[in-house]
Structure formats: structure tokens, C-alpha cells
Chain A
Amino acid sequence: MDFQVKYSRFRSLLEFLSIDLSMAYRFPLAEIYAALYTFFLVVSAIPQFGGVSSLIVFFAYLYFATILPKFITNILIAKNVAYGFAGEIERGLMQTYLTYPIKRLDIFVVKVFTCILVPYFYFIFSLLLASYLLYFEVFEIYGSQVLLLIISVAGPCILFGAIITAASLFIRRGGASLGLGIAAYFTIAILEMAMLYFAGATRRYEYILALFVLEPYLAFASHYGSTFMPFVHLPSITFEEAASYLIAHYFLSFIVFAVIAFYFIRRFEPT
């Protein structure tokens, strides 16, 4: 034989990423539409706020303009995880991948990137682009804070992705995982709203502080004194505190992913 084999972990990872991306986004119509929808929804929100160039107004418009795009992004994440993770386990494709000389951690990282981080990044990119074009002045003055706000708005998508990934690994069926993902999204949203309402009614702010970790944009709302939730009096916190809730939120997502990765590397057996 006139050829040689030189194995490289990094090259194998990139090659696997290439296969996975080309399979998951062969016709990325849903993703392109979701990104365009996010962009134009944010753009169309301007007249409602009169184009006032202040960070507080920017924050308020950002929150309201991203409710639906965030929902769509979560559904796309649920779809990707259901078919990219559970569906591949169900079909037997994961078993094929696991026979290749690729570390399990690398397979997991590639799957998380393809299924969750790609939608997350195009969501953030759409928000950044729309915000930059329309709120250029705000961007010039408060660039880093705007970025933090956008990351805080998009953060729950990652946590949701982690939860649905955990469920997919146990359910191992694409369709059932997608159904569970949609149900999980609404359950989490209902619980958050119930907790918010309960906190407002009882005046016990521990619930609010817990919610700041789950939904860090609420922490920033609290900092900027936004009144988009009039039934709840949010405690006043500093920007640094709000940022620390954002870090705690992403750390929580990281912990959930770490637990799933540990299971995938040490115990997961394809069926």
C-alpha cells in the first residue's frame, strides 16, 4: 500500500464537525428565516420607542422585540437536539460515530456546537447587527454593555439546550425528544412567570434573585429600573451584580453540560 495513516485528534474533530454541520444544515432554510425574522422584528420595533438613543430604552425594546425570536430559536434548538442527538442514537448513527477514532468528548462538543451553539450565535448575530444598525449611537457609547445585554437575552437558549440535551440522551427518540423539548420550554416559561408573580404577591425577593440566575436579563432590567413588569417591584441592584447573575447563569448552563458530558463520556452506551 502506498499510503500512510497519521492520526490527529484535532483533524479528526474538525472532520467530524464538517460531517455534522453539512448534515444538520444541508438546507438551513429554517435557520435563515429565523435569523431574518429576528433581524426585521428588531428593526420594526423602533417606531414604538421613537428612536430614542438611550441604553434603558434600548434594553426595553430589546426585551420585547426578542420574545418571539427567542422562542423560535429555542424551538430550532429543540429540533436540532432531538434529531441531531436523540434521532441519531435512535437510528444507530451515533454507534457508527463512536466506532471512529474520535474522543467521546469531541463528539459531544461537536454535537453541542452544531445543535445549540450555531442557532445561539446566529440569534446573537442578528441582534447585534440590528442593534448596531439602528442604535449606532448607543453602540458607540455603551458597546460592551450592549453586548452583555444581548448575551443576557440569549442566555436562556443555552440553558434550554442543555436541558433538552439531557432529556434527549435518556429518551433516545427524535420525535419524543422534540415533543418533550416544546413541552419543557412552555413548562419553564410558565414556572418562571408563576415565580415572578408569586414573588410580587408575597414580596419575597429570594424567588426574584433565583430568577435572575435563570433569566439574567431580569437582573439587568432590575439594574436599569425597567418597568416592563409592573406587577413586580424588582430590587435595585448594581451593574456588577447584574453581570454576576449573568455569569452565574452561564456557569449553571456549563455545569449542566458538564454533567451530561460526563455521562456521555463515562456511561453512555448506544442502542
Chain B
Amino acid sequence: MSIAECKNVTKRFGKITALRGLSLTIPKNSFFGIIGPNGAGKTTTLRIILGLLRPDEGEVMLYGEDPWDNPRVKAMVGVLHENPVYPLYISCERYLLHVARIYGVEKPEIRVTEVLKLVELYEARSRLIKALSAGMLQRLGLAQALIHMPKLVIADEPTSNLDPLARARLLNLMRQLREDEGVDFIVSSHILPELARVCEKVAFVSEGEIKAAGSLEELYKQFGLTMFRVSSDAPRKLLAELVELPYIEGITMTGFEVLVKVKEGFEQQFYSDVAEVAKKVGVKLFGVDFKVASLEELYRRVIVGGFSS
């Protein structure tokens, strides 16, 4: 069973169509990233999965159930909003105690202390929420999302209000929770390097539609972003020869490098062929290595549809 499933979901806000027949399956045991430009429909997708919005058309399931007004499903999920809002005139510790009791956590005092230490807010536990900085508020958000040890954490732009150090800390914490506690994550963001660090699977959303989805490895292959990088003293000359190889799917040049996409299964042969070709035309090879494109390149390829190099 998947964590969440959206089937042909359409959502309109007045005249604006935020989602257009979006279909997405988020598998269990994954750190899933929803990637897309501003206004693509990422937040709307998450809010529909959370049961905060009702789709105008289509169907949404979270753990096999309709999430709308469904406490049983919500009890399994922790939520971290982009701009978390909590009651202002209450201390962090007291608020988390309330939240722990709402979720039915036994021994809530012990759990609250544990979570406050985990998110490094223990020293500020008596401080009113009103007096917290944006970063602290985000960490409080993570604390309340984890208070009941959820199976899944849904985080919408979780690092948007944080400084670089706090971002790194938060991402490390999330990755640690994924690895040590087996917590699943669905994270939306447009900050790609961060997602590349933590996500195992992604979906690209643009104009309310899923443009591509799957594991990063699959997507790099699907969009031709796994390639050989060949550096030499005469790349143009080398390119002219390499393009004749029958298993070449794509080839381009950037600076002193030739980027080559080969058909699946011909990787080993390419290593020997490239050496032979270079020798034949008298080009000096500096190196041949297998290159996986960055998430930014994949993003450009999927969303914009252009070539990266």
C-alpha cells in the first residue's frame, strides 16, 4: 500500500485552476520530494493530501482512507507548515504538552522533553511562542510534528525561513529520522540542492500537473542525464569521431569536455571504444568518468524541457 495517492485531482480557487488532473502515488519507505516552481501547485497538493482542502474532481487517499476530517489518519501524520502558526501566549513546553495529549501520547512530559532536546529547543522551553525567532518556530514546528512519533511527516517548504546553518541542521535531523526511526517524509521545496541531499524519490509539479515522478536514478536515466564526461586536449575532434559509434544516444560539448549519453548496457564498451578512438585520431585523453547530472539539471530538463549543457 502506498502512503498517499492522488487520482486525477483537480482543484480550483475561483477562476484559477491550481491542480489539473494531478495523479501521484507516494510509496511507503521513502523520503519523497515534491519539486516545482512557485505557484506550481506543491502546497495545494500537500494540503489536499492532508485533508485541508477538498478536490473539486478526483480522489485522494492517505493510508488508504479519505483524509478529510479523518482523525485516525491524521494521528499517523506529523505536519510542518511553511510558516508555522501556533497560539502565541503559551510556552513551547506547555503547547507541546497539549499537542502530545491531543495525539494521546502516554507520559507526555517525558516525550516533550525528548523532542525539545531533539530539535535543540530545550533551553527555550519556557519561552512564549510569541518570543521565538523564525528558526526556532520552525524547530518547534518540527517538534510538534514529531511529538507522537508519526509514521509520516509532511513538510511544506520546511527550510524557507532558516539560515544556512539551521537549514543544514534541520535536513540532517530529517535524514537521521528517516534512517534511524524509519519515518517517511513528503517534503515540498524549490530549493533543489537541499532536496537532492535527502530525497530518494521526487515528483516534479508544474502548472498543476505532474511532469515526472520516480526515484532520482530512474529519472536521471529517463531524461538522459546519466552520461560520460570525456576530457581531452581536442574535444571537438573527439566529438566528431565519437558521434559515429552506433550506441551513442546523445553527445554534446562543454568547454574541454565531451558529454556522451550511451545506450543502456554499452557502458563498459564505451570505456574501451573511447580510448581506441582517441588513439586513432591522436587526441590526448585526460579522463573518462561517469557523470550523474545534478537535480537542477533534471529540474530544467523536466520543467523547462531544455538541455542543461
Chain B residue nearest to A98 in the complex (CB): B52
Asked if residues A102 and B71 are in contact (CB atoms below 8 Å), the reply is yes
| B13 CB, nearest partner CB in chain A, Å | 9
Considering only residues 19-37 of chain A, those with a C-beta below 8 Å from chain B are 19, 22-23, 26
CA distance A267 to B103 in the complex (A): 24
- Asked if B280 is at the interface of the complex by the 8 Å CB criterion, the answer is no
What A residues does B195 contact at CB under 8 A?
A: none
A7 touches B52 (CB 8 A): no
Question: Smallest CB-CB separation from A94: which chain B residue?
Answer: B85
A99 B85 Cβ-Cβ under 8 A: no
A5 within 8 A of B: yes
A83 to B300, CA, bound (A): 45
> What band does the interface of chain A fall in when counting residues whose beta carbon is under 8 Å from B?
20 to 34
Give Cα distance in the complex from A103 to B110, angstroms: 27
Given known A3-B110, A11-B101, A265-B69, contact A99–B75 (CB-CB < 8 A):
no
Q: Please name the residue on chain A nearest to B97 by beta carbon.
A: A15
Number of A-B contacts (CB under 8 A): 92
- Nearest CB of chain B from residue A108's CB, rounded to whole Å: 11
Chain B residues contacting A98 (CB-CB under 8 Å) are 51-52
At the interface, yes or no: B28 with Cβ under 8 Å from chain A? no
Given A22-B90, A26-B89, A92-B85 in contact, is the A270-B52 Cβ separation under 8 Å?
yes
A269: chain B residues within 8 A (beta carbon): 52-54
Tally chain B residues at the interface, Cβ within 8 Å.
34
Q: How far is the CA of A99 from the CA of B71 in the complex (A)?
A: 9
Query: What are the residues of chain B within 8 A of A237 when measuring CB–CB?
Result: none
Which of A8, A12, A96 has a CB less than 8 Å from the CB of B85?
Answer: A96
B87 with A12: CB separation less than 8 A: no
Question: Residue B253 at the A interface, CB < 8 A?
Answer: no
- Give the interface segment out of B76-84, B221-229, B265-273: B76-84
Q: Pick from A3, A91, A103: contact of B71, CB below 8 A.
A: A103
A104 near B69 with CB under 8 A, answer yes
Q: Which residue of B lies closest to A269 (CB)?
A: B53
Cβ–Cβ contact A7 & B69, under 8 A: no
Asked if A19 and B107 make an inter-chain contact with CB atoms under 8 angstroms apart, the answer reads no
Complex contact A19–B98 (CB within 8 A): yes
**Chain B: minimal CB distance from A199 (Å):** 43
18 contacts between A and B (CB under 8 A): A1-B149, A3-B105, A3-B107, A5-B104, A5-B106, A5-B148, A7-B71, A9-B71, A12-B101, A15-B101, A16-B102, A19-B90, A93-B86, A95-B85, A96-B81, A101-B72, A102-B102, A103-B69
9 nearest A-B residue pairs (beta carbon): A101-B71, A92-B85, A7-B104, A101-B75, A99-B79, A101-B74, A15-B101, A6-B104, A12-B102
- The residues of B with any CB-CB pair to A shorter than 8 Å are 50-54, 69, 71-72, 74-75, 77, 79, 81, 83-87, 89-90, 95, 98-99, 101-107, 110-111, 148-149
